[in-house]
């Protein structure tokens, strides 16, 4: 096994065993955000899956988006997405990030996140319970694992 192969194996292993997340609110009401935060605290504790919340997009593998996308936030959201290193994954948390929900026809709202870039996992709910958010992450990790195997 060459050094390069060994290196990429470690990367794959790290990506599925300890994905780092950046959380971005694009216009949501805070409901999903507090539930995402609750998922990090002792009762739910997603850190036991190696999931760590990071402040910088350059360190993140997964972008967790909450809220409908507003016009004013659109550029910043795109910039954050572009700053993330490849391969990157997106998880849309809550019905607003999935489709725009009750704000879909608002004058300052674009709609769901998938209008701007592809989404890997949708977690509907208003807001989804921490259990549902954890399931979303579990599904995403499974998806990453399968993709890595197929490569």
Partner 1 sequence: MVKIVVGPQHPALKEPERFLLETEGEYVKNVRVRIGYIHRGIEKAMENRTYIQNLYLAERICGICSDAHTTCYVQAVEELLGVEPPPRAKFIRVITAELERIHSHMLWLGVAAHEIGFDTLFMYVWRDREIVMDLLELISGNRVNYAMNTIGGVRRDLNSEHVDKILKGLNVLEARTKEYIKMIEKEPSVLKRTVDVGILSKADAIKYGAVGPTARASGVKRDVRADDPYAAYDETPFNVITSDGCDCFARIIVRAEEILESINITREALKKLPDGEIKIRVKPRIPPAEALSRVEAPRGELMHYARSNGTDKPERYKVRTPTLANIPALCKMLVGGYIADVPIVLAGIDPCFACMDRVLIVDHEKKKSEVWDLEKLRRYGREWYSKR
Partner 2 sequence: MSREEEFVKKLEERFGRRVRDPRIQRARRIFVEIDGKDLREVLTYVKNELGFDHISAITGLDVGEDIELIYHVAYENSIELSIKTKVSKKDPRIDTVADIYDPAGIYEREVHDLLGVVFEGNPDLSPLLLPDDWPSGVYPLRKDKSFEELRELVEKSGVSGK
Name the site residues for partner 1 (rule: CB under 8 A): 23-35, 37-38, 41-43, 55-56, 66-68, 70, 72-73, 76, 101-103, 105-109, 126-127, 129
In the bound state with partner 1, the residue whose beta carbon lies nearer, of 90 and 141, is 90
Q: Is 76 in the site for partner 2 (CB under 8 A)?
A: yes
Which whole-number Å values give the CA distances from 140 to 85, 107, 149, in the listed order? 17, 32, 14
> Which of residues 18 and 108 has its CB atom nearest to partner 2 in the complex?
108
Cα–Cα distance, 151 to 148 (Å, whole number)? 5
Q: Which helix (H) or strand (E) element contains residue 14?
A: helix 3-17
Give the C-alpha separation, 56 to 15, whole Å: 17
Q: Binding residues for partner 2, how many (CB under 8 A)?
A: 11
Residue among 16 and 25 whose Cβ is closer to partner 2: 25
* Calpha distance 42→92 (Å, rounded): 23
> 3-class SS at 40?
helix
How far apart are CB 57 and partner 2 at their closest, in Å?
A: 18
With CB under 5 to 8 Å by kind, the binding choice for 74 among partner 1, partner 2, none is partner 2
């Amino acid at each position: 096994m060459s050094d390069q192969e060994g290196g990429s194996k470690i990367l794959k292993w790290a990506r599925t065993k300890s994905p780092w997340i950046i959380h971005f609110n694009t216009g949501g009401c805070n409901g999903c955000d507090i539930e995402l935060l609750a998922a990090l605290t002792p009762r739910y504790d997603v850190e036991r899956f190696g999931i760590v919340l990071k402040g910088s997009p350059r360190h993140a593998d997964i972008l967790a988006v909450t809220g409908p996308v507003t016009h004013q936030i659109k550029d910043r959201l795109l910039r954050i997405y572009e700053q993330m290193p490849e391969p990157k994954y997106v998880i849309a948390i809550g019905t607003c990030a999935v489709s725009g929900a009750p704000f879909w026809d608002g004058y300052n709202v674009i709609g769901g996140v998938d209008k701007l870039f592809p989404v890997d996992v949708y977690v509907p709910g208003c807001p989804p319970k921490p259990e549902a958010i954890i399931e979303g992450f579990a599904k995403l990790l499974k998806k990453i694992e399968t993709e890595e195997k197929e490569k």
